[in-house]
Structure 1
């Protein structure tokens, strides 16, 4: 009994993560068009018609752009907390009431062989939350879109086998870049996005001996680069005593190309 996952797309242009067990499969966020989502599923050899449901982290368009289309086309249940539902309903079109489900923050829902735990993050959305997947003694953590990683969050996410972890920006690139100051201030704030270095410092606090992979996610197109993110995170973690490639591996994610379907 194995859990599989793929980061289908990750970045400021759209986000979607696929998780499956033998009995259930979920799409976390649908931040691309319906057509793009179908192509991404084809690339990992899966079909959206077999999904058990859609999980929503928050209402920003790069996480829900295709949500309504996908839910209606495949008649899928949508799970989100109450404040997120209120915020996103005007943006996703008409959804049948029978497809609407509430998933409160800081709670666990069980779907057969899979337990999904929700937890709050610090981001400028109505009530943003991410998810921990528990299956057969394995733990997968998905966490992007947070301005910082609190001790409470660390307690929930520590000791995962696999992480999808935000590594949004290089602070120097962001400060020197073309964004207006109000946007820079928002990204750097406690309700913005985590930098490469801050991500690595948080990773240092939560990885354990069982941790095998960390996917660096939600990289800014303007204020980061894959090589830079990997180098910065590696240097910080190695400075804390970790050996990348022996203890665990770092993996890139892409805004348009899915990662390989990985068995956890």
Structure 2
């Protein structure tokens, strides 16, 4: 079983998950050509994908979707409102479109969509469950008790650590954009991410820190902040892994 974050950040997001013989993508925010190349680099074929699950309609999550579906006919799953909000909706072959509200069965896997707080039509995270559970949860303004329940018991988690609050506040972004990122429909800070993990009762073994801002965060700062809080709170045996915008990061589980 394998999780490979092909790309993660404001320029494009795409995650590959192989479990129980099924092969899924979560988001397709990079070009179909790059998706094909990155999959080939890890020994996987784009033609063997069983489905693409879209979290929301922002361009950094769907940039490659139209080409991916037209060229390879891969089924796409997302909330109905998300499909309607996509700027590429009319370019996706209708036979590829599969609206879902709650969960869907893909071979031996159950994929559940759960709502997240973000400034999009109907944004979701996904839990993929077979013999173990993997969760993808990015682009969230905050994590409440209901959302924590969705994260519980994951073996592997792709979790947003978008920004350092001081870097964002003191950076060059205009104030309306800073306010959006800091809002409860924006993005999680490094500190938010750490405390989300602390409060989980059944903690993941591996956490891939994702969607790091190139302007308002640093990989080493994200890692240091999250690790320091986990250590201070006595959280042990949790492996933290940094994802990247320009390279694939893979873990086996």
TM-score, length basis structure 1: 0.93
Give the equivalent residue in structure 2 for 1:213: 206
2:98 match: 101
1:222 matched residue in structure 2: 215
Instruction: Pick one of 78, 96, 115 that aligns with 1:80.
Output: 78
Runs of 4+ with deviation above 3 angstroms: none
The CA distance in 2 between the partners of 1:220 and 1:78, in whole Å, is 27
Task: Kindly tell me the number of residue pairs found equivalent between the two proteins.
Answer: 253
| Residue of structure 2 aligned with 1:113, choices 100, 108, 111 | 108
| SS state at 1:214 partner | strand
Find out whether 1:231 has 2:224 as its counterpart.
yes
> Are 2:218 and 1:249 equivalent residues in the alignment?
no
Task: Summarize deviations over 1:122-167 as a string: whole Å, max 9, x none.
Answer: 000000001001111x111110000001110001111211111100
> Which consecutive unaligned segments of at least 5 residues does structure 2 have?
none
Aligned residues of 2:20 and 2:109 also touching (Cα < 8 A): no
Matched ranges for 1:131-210 at <5 A: 131-136=126-131, 138-206=132-200, 208=202
Aligned equivalents of 1:24, 1:242: Cα separation in 2:
32
Q: Cα RMSD over matched residues?
A: 1.2
C-alpha contact 1:65 1:92 (8 A) present in aligned 2 = no
CA distance in 2, matches of 1:65, 1:257: 17
CA distance in 2, matches of 1:204, 1:241: 9
Task: Check conservation: 1:64, 1:92, Cα contact below 8 A.
Answer: no
What is the CA-CA distance between 1:79 and the residue it aligns to?
0.6
Distance 2:240 2:91 in 1: 40
Q: TM-score, normalised by structure 2?
A: 0.97
Task: Tell me the secondary structure at the aligned position of residue 202 of structure 1.
Answer: helix
CA distance in 1, matches of 2:169, 2:67: 37
Counterpart of 2:55 (choices 48, 54, 57) is 57
SS in 2 for 1:17: strand
State the distance in 2 between where 1:42 and 1:27 align.
14
Deviation at 1:23, TM superposition (A): 3.0
- What is the distance in 2 between the residues matched to 1:22 and 1:163? 17
Alpha-carbon shift at residue 93 of structure 1 (Å):
4.5
2:163 aligns to what SS in structure 1? coil
